[in-house]
Structure 1
Amino acid sequence: MANLYRLALIHKTKSLLTFLQDFLALFFPELCAGCGTNLFTNEQVICTNCIYHLPVTNFHNDPANRLSKQLWGRFIFGQASSFVYFRKGGSVQNIMHQLKYNNRPEAGFRMGQLYAQALKNSGEWNIPDLIIPVPLHPAKLRKRQYNQSECIANGLASVLLIPVISDNLVRIENTETQTKKTRFERYENLAGVFVCRDPGAFTDKHILIVDDVITTGATLEACSMVLQEFEDVKISIAAIAFSE
């Protein structure tokens, strides 16, 4: 009898919580980061329709993908992939804008989760030992309150079940924006920007460096050039979006 009472109480509590969630959603609806429509109770951050129509690259299933070819010869890496294409006016642009400028770190976490599931299902990808998000300069981090690449990294890690190390590779210079710079100008702008505090922590590790959007790859190249100086370090690259 006591067990039946407990089950009834649990069911009643769950029903009450569901009612409260639905009630709050009427007045404070959670909006999709991609299209701005109201999310259903079972949806998280990005609606089912936007997820279904994401312009997935499938780079994770092709070792000789466009991103890999773009980075070949610039630094040594094992794997390189991005989850979706970044196209002006599309849902991916909206999601990344919400992440970076509209205080929605959960958008990065959710995209990281979706991407990680694709990596797990790929027969071409070796799961790394740890993840390093591209670091922000402390001044920019204070202004934004979070690192968008770290949000993505945490989403990846929650599915891949590997650690995120965000305090070893650091950014020591607050560079000007990379927008409208050529590839060479971007590389020059990032020279000497990143340093590693404890190189020994990365010895014999397969490291996945994570960024939000890849355009020329100069930022990832600058990070990788620092890390590849250390003993027996293998580097792979991942980003949410690849700018066409």
Structure 2
Amino acid sequence: MKILTDLFQLFYPRLCANCDTQLIENELILCTFCRHDLPLTNFNNYRENKVAKIFYGRIAVEKAYSLLFYRKEGISKKLIQELKYKGNEDIGIFFGNWLGEMLKENKEFNDIDCIIPVPLHPKKKRQRGYNQVSKFGETVGKHLQITFNERLLTRISSSKTQTLQSRFERFTNNDTKFSLMDYTTLKNKHILIVDDVITTGATLEACAKELQKTENIKISFLTIGYTELNL
């Protein structure tokens, strides 16, 4: 069996998603050098950090965390672009495993009842063929043994992706709307909303406000990347 695997890799080598170097046996998605180059946020406090502070005075959030800094250029942007626009869902699984293992060990999200991804508008999902955060959230859920549900929350308005908007538009865009199918299912639950990148927090805020129509619900956020805006 190993001979067949080696033969397959000879003709179809696994390459680093960042530098295209051929991966060795124990490497996944990234080579060791590129993995060490990832701009990790290293936020130690899950309640008081730059991500959580985005929502101060806007909505009540239990905890918030992002693994990477997302910058205009660099490795994190390239990986998110591959995940979001080029169908490489293995990147979502890679980061889902990373964060899933980390959160299982530190027990910061051990009281979560359900994981919900930020949904795409049905039209956009048909065009893209997948929600880029589904595999990410599902993988985190497997590590934490938490239910993953991408059917409860739906997007009912379509807007430009934030990566194509100006900085001003990102702050002033309030057109994104979501709908919760059932306002009783999540009663008294702690929900973890997952997304790929958080910029202004407008999308996550809109999701949370819809979910908070449910009685006694608690909300936390988890994303792969976080953008520091220099305003």
What TM-score, normalized by structure 2, do the two folds share?
0.91
Residue 213 (structure 1) aligned with residue 197 (structure 2): yes
Q: 1:132 to 1:62 in 2, by over 3 A?
A: closer
**Alignment-derived partner of residue 6 in structure 1:** none
Between the aligned partners of 1:29 and 1:35, the Cα distance in structure 2 is 14
Between the aligned partners of 1:235 and 1:32, the Cα distance in structure 2 is 35
Q: 1:199 to 1:137 in 2, by over 3 A?
A: same
Between the aligned partners of 1:184 and 1:205, the Cα distance in structure 2 is 29
Secondary structure at the aligned position of 1:40 is classed as coil
* Residue 53 (structure 1) shift: 2.7
1:12-39 CA-to-partner distances (Å, cap 9, x unmatched) read xxxxx21111111111112222332212
**Alignment-derived partner of residue 217 in structure 2:** 233
Between the aligned partners of 2:23 and 2:79, the Cα distance in structure 1 is 14
1:56-95 CA-to-partner distances (Å, cap 9, x unmatched) read 1122534210111111111011001111111232211111
Between the aligned partners of 1:67 and 1:166, the Cα distance in structure 2 is 23
**Alignment-derived partner of residue 171 in structure 2:** 184
Between the aligned partners of 2:45 and 2:13, the Cα distance in structure 1 is 37
* Residue 176 (structure 1) shift: 2.5
Which amino acid is the alignment partner of residue 158 of structure 1?
K
Gaps of 5+ in 1: 1-16
**Alignment-derived partner of residue 172 in structure 1:** 156
Q: 1:115 to 1:137 in 2, by over 3 A?
A: same
Q: Percent identity?
A: 41
Are the counterparts in 2 of residues 63 and 124 from structure 1 also a CA contact under 8 Å?
no
Between the aligned partners of 2:8 and 2:120, the Cα distance in structure 1 is 35
Secondary structure at the aligned position of 1:213 is classed as strand
More helix by share: 1
Q: For 1:20-99, what aligned pairs fall within 5 Å after superposition?
A: 20-99=4-83
Between the aligned partners of 2:97 and 2:107, the Cα distance in structure 1 is 18
Q: For 1:125-140, what aligned pairs fall within 5 Å after superposition?
A: 125-140=109-124
Between the aligned partners of 1:60 and 1:230, the Cα distance in structure 2 is 30
Which amino acid is the alignment partner of residue 30 of structure 1?
R
**Alignment-derived partner of residue 127 in structure 2:** 143
Between the aligned partners of 2:197 and 2:7, the Cα distance in structure 1 is 37
Aligned with residue 147 of structure 2, among 145, 158, 163: 163
**Alignment-derived partner of residue 194 in structure 1:** 178
What TM-score, normalized by structure 1, do the two folds share?
0.86
Between the aligned partners of 1:216 and 1:27, the Cα distance in structure 2 is 44
1:158-207 CA-to-partner distances (Å, cap 9, x unmatched) read 21121111001001122223321424322x222xx100011211111110
Gaps of 5+ in 2: none
